[in-house]
Amino acid sequence: MPEAMRWSTENCTISRTMQILGDKWTFHVLRELFVGVRRFEDIRARSGIPRQVLTERLAALIERGLLRRHPYRLPGQRERYEYRLTQAGLDLYPVLVAMIQWGDQYLPLDGGPPIVAQHRECGERISVVLRCEAGHEPDAREVAIRPGPGARPRSLAG
Amino acid sequence: MPEAMRWSTENCTISRTMQILGDKWTFHVLRELFVGVRRFEDIRARSGIPRQVLTERLAALIERGLLRRHPYRLPGQRERYEYRLTQAGLDLYPVLVAMIQWGDQYLPLDGGPPIVAQHRECGERISVVLRCEAGHEPDAREVAIRPGPGARPRSLAG
DNA sequence: TGGCTGAGTCTGTCAAGTGGACTTATCCTC
DNA sequence: GAGGATAAGTCCACTTGACAGACTCAGCCA
């Protein structure tokens, strides 16, 4: 029996993160904000999200603290709001970059990658690497996901 | 107008990756495999996925090349199959670790993290870092996501 | 006064997820 | 060889959520 079977999933960090991100459309919304598209109608036009779903997802992301509304005003128009990433939202960059990196490797396109992550200062391509606290950079087979200090035993019954 | 508005999203790497991963249950399945739970009934019991959905998601992940079926046999039982990550699946570690890291920071629990990523060789905690090809390790505000060589212009009309 | 625009809200339809019961194949015990 | 256990599914009825398309609303402009 795998060791993990003895531990509960109820408070699992991945689950709790997926409750926020784990939705087809939520990730599309985040992508738009990461590439700099901030307004309702622009996000909708580029991503194809149904309006109602977009409204709901934006509200959820604000409530979770990943976005905030920011007033803006076009000349000769009334004040409106755009949506911006908070620090919590910006800190999803590693997740985004890791996904782009995986996609570039396993779902490549003939013309090359359609989007790249770039260091603003020097213009070079950015990627993510795994690193342990001893300074090693392990590859995938050297990584193990184990129960941590907050792990709770599983009440078997299902 | 943000620059990104001029570029099409149709072949976006994030979208194409999300077509595979961007589903509440798919990620739960992957989590189970990453922590070492490989059998249908074990996955179902720990994650609470409805059987029908689990059947469908496993089949999809196999078809996409992230998993493979592997025969096994318990003493005194007939042969069955378990599910294992392929190299493509294992290479999602950076995505998983990035998500755990974000969750630990922004959705912390009193008892500490319920799961941790560990280097098998030395036992130290593993995290992900962003790094550019010039060797810098930028923080979130220094990252930009830009159109790459495969970007296609957007036919405006929506 | 009437029209434009961005950002929504409303509505009916239809696909998908859900829980619970049922099925199948194999092995074990009697 | 009959009956039971078990892992891995299938089947079914029900409910929830996504979806497209039309409608609303507030402020500004001509």
What pLDDT is recorded for position A12? 94
pLDDT in tens, B26-69: 999 999 999 999 999 999 999 999 999 999 999 999 999 999 99
Q: How many degrees, rounded to 5, is the angle at CA B106 between CA A83 and CA B4?
A: 30
Average pLDDT of the segment spanning B9-17: 93
What pLDDT is recorded for position B156? 57
Count of A–B CB contacts within 8 Å? 337
Average pLDDT of the segment spanning B13-32: 94
The tokens 């090809």 sit on which residue? B133
What pLDDT is recorded for position A158? 40
What pLDDT is recorded for position A37? 97
The answer to whether A58 touches A67, Cβ cutoff 8 Å, is: yes
DSSP state string for B75-92: TTS-EEEEEEE-HHHHTT
**Residue A57, domain member (yes or no):** yes
Q: For the purposes of burial, counting CB atoms within 10 Å of the CB of A54, is it exposed (0-12), middle (13-18) or buried (19 or more)?
A: buried
**Residue A22, domain member (yes or no):** yes
Q: Same structural domain for residues B111 and B69?
A: no
Beta bridge partners of B146: A116
Q: Which nucleotides of D are covered by protein (CB under 7 A)?
A: 7-12, 18-22, 26-30
Average pLDDT of the segment spanning B116-123: 97
Nucleotide nearest to B79 (CA to C1'): C26
H or E stretch covering B63: helix B51-63
Provide the 8-state DSSP code for A7.
B
pLDDT at B158 over 50: no
Q: Same structural domain for residues B81 and B128?
A: no
DSSP state string for A63-113: HTTSEEEEEEE-TTS-EEEEEEE-HHHHTTHHHHHHHHHHHHHHS--TT--
Query: Other C-beta atoms within 10 Å of A136: how many?
Result: 15
User: Which one is predicted more confidently, A2 or A109?
Assistant: A109
Contact flag, residue A82 CB and nucleic strand C, below 7 A: yes
Q: What is the mean pLDDT of chain A?
A: 94
Q: What percent of chain B has pLDDT over 70?
A: 97
What pLDDT is recorded for position A28? 96
CA B131 to C1' C17, in angstroms, rounded, equals 40
What pLDDT is recorded for position A156? 57
pLDDT at B76 over 80: no
**Residue B81, domain member (yes or no):** yes
**Residue B154, domain member (yes or no):** no
Average pLDDT of the segment spanning A129-156: 94
Q: Same structural domain for residues B117 and B56?
A: no
Average pLDDT of the segment spanning A30-43: 96
Domain range holding A23?
Answer: 1-91
**What is the tally of structural domains in chain B?**
2
Q: Give the pair of three-digit tokens for residue B127.
A: 């995290």
pLDDT in tens, A60-115: 999 999 999 999 887 777 888 999 999 999 999 999 999 999 999 999 999 999 99
Pick from B87, B117, B133: which residue ends a domain?
Answer: B87
- A33: CATH: 1.10.10.10
**Residue A68, domain member (yes or no):** yes
B4: confidence class by pLDDT, cuts 50, 70, 90: very high
3 state SS of B71? strand
Q: Same structural domain for residues B61 and B108?
A: no
Q: Same structural domain for residues B77 and B117?
A: no
**Residue B157, domain member (yes or no):** no
- What is the Cα–Cα distance from A27 to A39, expressed in whole angstroms? 16
